């Protein structure tokens, strides 16, 4: 049952990652237009510059779980590559557990941060900036919740793999 739930989490994370990864093209286009307008026509917009990071936030926070799922993460492969399959799974279990703990901390502490921003309807302090800054801040607990789910799915899957190797975690 837990493996089926882990599979469903993986499917959801993959879908979210694929959908939001398309923001890369919007960000590249927006940045190119901003640079061209700024340096060729001396035109600039606070709104357009803020939109860059308003798009980067969901991209990073919602796609990071997909990177973890696919193994496209940074780790010290110099040591990891020589480990036995069981030792690799133990390292992965530890990493999933630590990631889950960090996610819980970030989620816990970000609720007050996002709540305060929402309560004052925080917006850009710059004239012509983007309103509703709290929406962007709300991606913090959301992104780390998705990462928490992915970490739990990886944890369950790694325990299953360890047991199939005859190792009791």
Kindly report, residue by residue over 116-136, the tens digit of the pLDDT: 999 998 888 888 788 888 888
CA atoms of 152 and 146, how far apart (whole Å) = 10
Tally of domains in the chain: 1
The DSSP letter of residue 81 is T
- Structure confidence at residue 28 (pLDDT): 92
Structure tokens belonging to residue 166: 């005859």
In a domain, 144, yes or no: yes
Is residue 138 within 8 A of residue 114, CB to CB? The reply is yes
pLDDT beyond 90 at 1: no
Is residue 169 in some structural domain? no
Greater confidence (22 vs 47) lies with 22
**Residue 10: CB atoms within 10 Å:** 19
How far, in whole angstroms, is CA 24 from its chain's centroid?
A: 14
Nearest-5° angle of CA 55, CA 57, CA 63? 100
Is 131 among the domain residues?
yes
pLDDT of residue 169: 60
**Chain segment 58-102, per-residue pLDDT in tens:** 888 888 888 888 776 666 677 777 888 888 888 888 889 999 999
What is the extent of the structural domain holding 152?
2-164
């Amino acid at each position: 049952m837990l493996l089926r739930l882990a599979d469903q989490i993986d499917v959801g994370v993959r879908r979210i990652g694929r959908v939001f990864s398309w923001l890369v093209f919007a960000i590249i286009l927006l940045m190119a237009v901003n640079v061209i307008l700024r340096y060729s026509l001396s035109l600039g917009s606070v709104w357009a510059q803020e939109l860059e990071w308003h798009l980067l936030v969901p991209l990073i926070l919602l796609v990071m779980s997909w990177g973890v799922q696919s193994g496209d993460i940074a780790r010290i492969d110099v040591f990891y590559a020589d480990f036995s399959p069981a030792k690799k799974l133990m390292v992965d279990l530890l990493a999933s557990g630590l990631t889950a703990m960090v996610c819980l901390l970030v989620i816990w502490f970000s609720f007050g941060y996002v709540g305060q921003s929402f309560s004052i309807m925080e917006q850009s302090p710059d004239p012509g900036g983007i309103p509703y800054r709290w929406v962007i801040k709300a991606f913090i607990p959301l992104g780390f919740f998705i990462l928490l789910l992915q970490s739990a799915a990886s944890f369950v899957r790694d325990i299953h793999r360890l047991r199939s190797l005859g190792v009791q975690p």
